[in-house]
Amino acid sequence: MNKKKILSLVAFLPLLFAANAQQNLTSPNGNLVMTFQVDAQGAPVYELSYKGHPVILPSTLGLELKKEDDTRTDFDWVDRRDLSKVDSKVNLYNGFELKEVQTSEFDETWRPVWGEEKEIRNHYNEMAVTLYQPMNERSILIRFRLFDDGLGFRYEFPQQPSLNYFVIKEEHSQFAMAGDHIAFWIPGDYDTQEYDYTISRLSEIRGLMKQAITPNSSQTPFSATGVQTALMMKTDDGLYINLHEAALIDYSCMHLNLDDKNMVFESWLTPDAKGDKGYMQSPCRSPWRTIIVSDDARDILASRITLNLNEPCKIADAETWVKPVKYIGVWWDMITGKGSWAYTDELTGVKLGMTDYSVTKPNGKHSANTANVKRYIDFAAAHGFDAVLVEGWNEGWEDWFGNSKDYVFDFQTPYPDFDVEELHRYASEKGVKIMMHHETSASARNYERHMDKAYQFMVDHGYNSVKSGYVGNIIPRGEHHYGQWMNDHYLYAVKKAAEYKIMVNAHEATRPTGICRTYPNLIGNESARGTEYESFGGNKVYHTTILPFTRLVGGPMDYTPGIFETHCNRMNPANNSQVRSTIARQLALYVTMYSPLQMAADIPENYERFMDAFQFIKDVAIDWDETKYLEAEPGEYITIARKAKGTNDWYVGCTAGEGGHDSVLKCNFLEPGKQYIATVYADAPDADWQNNPQAYTIKKGILTNKSKLKMHAANGGGYAISIKEVKDKSEVRGLKRL
């Protein structure tokens, strides 16, 4: 690891001189310029440009605090002595003076435990601005970090008598746009991210919001122009702008609310059950607000700002037990409605420890039974998969949803037809791990009640990873999925899991913000509309061409690709949904949808029908030394090449939206002077996601770094290529150059 830190300038500015002084900060390569000043009202104001093009017009920063109790000052209800300041103390947005400016340069190269590349450079210029508010005798610090690919800023609250404990009413961080940009957005919502993306002008969001809000198990939209981060935009002059946040810790998740008359976004925090948006005690700080910008869409995908703004790994021995996982699962047959999570259909209610399942009649479709799981273990062992996920193994699924049930699962008691000990023995003999499933039914209090025993149960039975879920309305009742309380819970679960050397894949949790750098046992999240929605009516064709620009900016996604039988009625005659993808694109997603946790989501029988295509899923790596973003346009196509960890082998994937995509791939990322054998999995000429999704071709040939490949992706299609270094000349006998 190479690391250097340079303090290039420390400036102490006299208050009178600095009242309206403009401060400039430039990115290391000079393309981005940020200016900061305190305006005539004492409000902090920043703006940002890229190569002379405006990105953020002058935008104000600050917070509004909740009004303090105007009587109580301590346990004895002593009358306040500062009644005259109660109203003014809510103001943390103007009336400031510029007290101090510190600038510095930082440059390091660090190695993630797992990732898209083996080394990440963290290089930025920083400006730390200390602001003093005379009327309330308090200070805050706004820290800006300007990278070559974007800006991060956060609020810091030093410990001080006049700002000790405080409650946030709203954060007022503005992002003023320079035009009516094209946006790739989902509705702002306190409880779900599982919406299809809409592509529109900013000015069109209000008119499209109603149809964009589709039903979900828990949802709380808040505004006709509210949208979620990461928000992707494209300007008319060819800039790509991405707004998100990093290091969301002990704070409420940020949405964006648009003033569509002036094209100004403002931060909008998720409230708690009382309507408050953050309980703080100094010293403390907000998450980073991030603005990624480039005139090349590929740079947005390549940005590592979100990771770089998080703290280094806090798990000392993480590399010894946090390992990427390729898995299959007892899952898709339940998602399609062929099987069930519940053991019996006779119970209308379950009371844990009291309900006797031995006297109930099995429904005959419970998927998590010992014999069925053994079948999946056999398949995993035969094809080199690390683990088998099993959902619906534990008592309580008969009344788990929609009842606001607190004591819903104990995460330790299996159904009568699920033999924990036997499956542990059987899987161990086969060299396969079973992946635990902890659906909480959004009862976070109940999960914390059982967490230590549940994790110990996992350790005792050979489970080293868990998929957790938070479906439904949160308990404690009134809390939201993305509020401060739940964000603290999600991190608590990850930290607690680390004590037991367990990896966590959290579904329905807050969208990632790079915390996986600090706690790499957070190996995956869902936190967006994934493959399961292909069985619930389908995702839009362009969905997977947008997610890497939005959801994946914060971290990897457990997207669960690999569905080969795209007509769900082949699984369940009552389900007429169709996966909006060709088989070739399903293969490509293992490359384009980055995750160190990759599921082959279909059932074994469907893979056995297409074993030649399944070979790519078996071969493709899940950890990488290098990533090249070859082509990218949000909503249309993404093509990515990745070099497998510790090898000279590469894998390429392309996902395309409606209308498909034609590529001319230059293979100059390959090492000069070497030969490679490429296996190309492509859409057949007549392939189409709707009319001919299972039409694909496979061809094999020789590549060098001078090769060019003409490739075609169909409507909703794609292609995947495995490229393996030739180590023995006999390997290429009979093969032609592609």
Instruction: Tell me which residues are annotated as active site.
Output: 532
- CA angle (507 as vertex; 504, 511 as ends), nearest 5: 95
Spell out the residues 6+ positions from residue 338 whose beta carbon is closer than 8 angstroms to its own.
Answer: 365, 571, 572
Q: What is the crossing angle of helices 420-430 and 370-383, to 10°?
A: 10
Do residues 645 and 664 make contact, with C-beta atoms less than 8 angstroms apart?
A: no
> E strand or H helix at 659, and its extent?
none
How far is 463 from 466, CA to CA, in rounded Å? Answer: 8
How far is 432 from 438, CA to CA, in rounded Å? Answer: 19
Do residues 251 and 487 make contact, with C-beta atoms less than 8 angstroms apart?
A: yes
How far is 420 from 434, CA to CA, in rounded Å? Answer: 10
> E strand or H helix at 323, and its extent?
none
With CA atoms as reference, report the closest residue to 230 among 209, 198, 260, 254: 254
Q: Are strands 53-60 and 182-185 parallel, antiparallel or unpaired?
A: unpaired
Coil/strand/helix, residue 578: strand
The b/e string for 147-159 (b: 16+ C-beta within 10 A; e otherwise) is bbbbbbbbbbbee
> E strand or H helix at 548, and its extent?
none
φ, ψ for residue 616 (rounded to 5)? -65, -40
Per the structure block, which two tokens stand in for 255? 């949405």
Where do the DSSP E strands lie in 512-610?
522-525, 597-600
How far is 470 from 447, CA to CA, in rounded Å? Answer: 10
Matching residue, tokens 């602001």: 131
Asked if residue 283 has a cis previous peptide bond (ω within 30° of 0), the answer is yes
Q: How many CB atoms lie within 10 A of CB 308?
A: 24
**Residue 244 bridge partners (DSSP):** 290
Spell out the residues 6+ positions from residue 540 whose beta carbon is closer than 8 angstroms to its own.
Answer: 196, 197, 580
Per the structure block, which two tokens stand in for 482? 């993305």
Tell me how far apart the terminal alpha carbons of the chain are, to the nearest angstrom. 39
With CA atoms as reference, report the closest residue to 718 among 635, 639, 628: 639
